[in-house]
Amino acid sequence: MIGLLITVIWAGAELAERWRVGTSVLTVLLCVVLGVFTWTARVQVSTWKNSETVARQALKATGENFMAEVLLGNWLEDQGDEEAAITQHRHAIATKPDHFVPYTRLGILLDKNGRQEEAIKAYAGALKLNDTLTGIQLMLGRALQGSGQIDAAVILYKNVLKRTPYDPQAHYLAGTAYETLEAYDKALTYYTESARLDSKSPLRDRLTERLQQEE
């Protein structure tokens, strides 16, 4: 507004001198111009109130806008309106189906709401576009494990460990999968490694107690 005010004042002074406009007339004109600027600024600032207003204004101005779709979906998610966020992330995918971000957000929300089969498809969609997302691989593994597809989950966990062999979460999840398969020796191996890598892991105390009992 400072820059605009300087422009108006200098322009007004120059026009008054060139056209020989009286002070009272010039004052009225300047007040009108400043009033228009103030109203326009007020309207524009309202679109920057929060992420929702920015996203909705962008969609209104540009139509299908992938970044605005994702922004709005994240905002709805933050507000706790998860069903609306799910719908919004699906719309973002429809707008730009070759970007992994909305697939990941959609998968997490579906998983959180117990819709594992749908979450599996969303996670798989994200990984199809970007197979380096180790966190999403682990989430997909957990969803597969929850739906009874233990062997498929183990394959994912091992793939993650090939890339990040020092990931305590991957070791822990692999341990839970092998425990479900009743392969207890393998489960203990992965649990032990997870506890070794994570100094704050609650497994450390449990494993220490178990080893002491075996001794």
Q: Model pTM?
A: 0.73
104-142 pLDDT tens trace? 999 999 999 999 999 999 999 999 999 999 999 999 999
Q: Choose among 101, 62, 99, 69: nearest CA to 84.
A: 69
Question: Topology of 132-215 in CATH?
Answer: 1.25.40
Domain ranges of the chain: 1-46, 51-128, 132-215
Note whether 51-128 and 132-215 share their fold: yes
18-47 pLDDT tens trace? 766 666 766 777 777 777 777 777 766 666
**Region of poorest pLDDT, from 58-67, 69-78, 175-184:** 58-67
Burial (Cβ within 10 Å: 0-12, 13-18, ≥19) of residue 202: exposed
- Please give the CATH superfamily to which domain 51-128 belongs: Tetratricopeptide repeat domain (1.25.40.10)
Task: Tell me the two tokens of residue 113.
Answer: 């709401």
Region 43-62: mean pLDDT is 76
